[in-house]
Amino acid sequence: MATITYPNHMEIDHGAIKKIGMALEKNGIKRPLICTDKGIIAAGLYDTLRNAIPNDVEFTTFDGTPPNPTEVAVKDALALYRENNCDGIISIGGGSSIDLGKGVALSVDHEGPIGNWSTVKGGRDSIGACPPIIAIPTTAGTGSEVGGGSVIITEEGHKVVIASPELLPKMAICDPDLTLGLPPILTAATGMDAMAHCIEAYLTPVINPPAAAIGLDGLERVVTYLKRAVEDGQDKEARWHMMMAASEGAMAFAKGLGAVHSMSHAVGADPVLKAHHGTLNAILLPTVLRFNAPHVPEKMKKIKAAMGLSNQDDISDWILSYSISLGLPRNLSEIGVTKEMLPGFAEHCMTDACHFSNPVQPTVDEYISMYMDALNQ
């Protein structure tokens, strides 16, 4: 059986930020809470948004989004939402700000710890109506603007996935101009996040041919345009295609994700490492593909074709070399992971939602082995 849903209203073009007034009016939002972070404010992107919002809209701003959104930050933003009688959310920033906005939207009318609404606890089927969200990405990676999922670190320190059609932003305003000048290392890390989404979604056993095709198209765009965007931050064509690839990656993972993300979520939850999600995906993708390859040989051939590789090419070696050429770390050791951390990470993987949609579900020992591979590659 195939269950297929597709997605929200998406505006993608240079200068699309000017659509914010239309987006607010269409969704009946008059008092939005803007969820963002201090980096977006310092970069001037918050001012670009503020100047585009109609004068009769009364907005409140939460700028405390951490690099990996937390339940504590969600509660702080929720307090502002309620204090100012807000009626909707604008999330502007990377995936963290958009995910945090979804956490706030969920919490407005859903009581209890946010972990109670995670996908592994059946939250997808029990989440009801939420306030409308307008998502404005400023990086090209997570695709959170066109997905109904959010990843939040709970107060207990677990990184959980919440997902529901009710959390799908009502409109995604994708303006590639907001990514011009994004630092090369962040461009690379977020772009590799998009690559991981496209590949992992394609490899899941879930039947969704449109999502699979979109994933392959997004993958081709990443391989074609990411290095251009890294090397020239003002390349408007490359930025447009990377923003499209990021959104396509999220459309593709309507099929689910896999062990790259379970492993990345585990490491990303560590409060000391504070590792960037896209960087983790770039490091972990080659080793997980080595694990998955024997189980999905025909799909691996199609992935290679989308990337312009021959059947004789080693896809894991190619991706590792490509990632390094973008300036990203080679292995987990370079970002502070040690051998002693691995058993705890592996246990975390076993309850992560993405674990269950990998082509074959790894054991704890197999996760430890993959972590060891990524530690030393």
Q: What is the pLDDT along the chain (377 residues), one digit of tens a residue?
A: 444 455 688 899 999 999 999 999 999 999 999 999 999 999 999 999 999 999 999 999 999 999 889 999 999 999 999 999 999 999 999 989 999 999 999 999 998 899 898 877 776 778 999 999 999 999 998 888 988 889 899 998 888 888 888 999 999 999 999 999 899 999 999 999 999 999 999 999 999 999 999 999 999 999 999 999 999 999 999 999 999 999 999 999 889 999 999 999 999 989 899 899 999 999 999 999 999 999 999 999 999 999 999 989 999 999 999 999 999 999 999 999 999 999 999 999 999 989 999 999 999 999 999 999 999 98
pLDDT of residue 6: 59
- How much helix, strand and coil, in percent to the nearest 5, is found in the chain? 60, 10, 30
CATH no. for 9-178: 3.40.50.1970
Residue-range domain boundaries for the chain? 9-178, 181-376
What pLDDT is attached to residue 1? 40
Residue 182: CA count within 13 A, CB half-sphere? 31
User: Which residues have a Cβ under 8 Å from the Cβ of 295 and sit 6 or more positions away?
Assistant: 359, 360
Tokens of 281: 């995906």
Residue-level pLDDT at 119 = 79
Q: How far apart are CA 296 and CA 303, in angstroms?
A: 11
d(CA 42, CA 343): 39
Q: How far apart are the first and last CA of the chain?
A: 39
For residue 346, the number of C-alpha atoms closer than 13 Å in the C-beta half-sphere is 18
> What is the predicted pLDDT for the residue at 331?
97
pLDDT at 118: 86
Indicate the fold that domain 181-376 takes in CATH: Dehydroquinate synthase-like, alpha domain (1.20.1090)
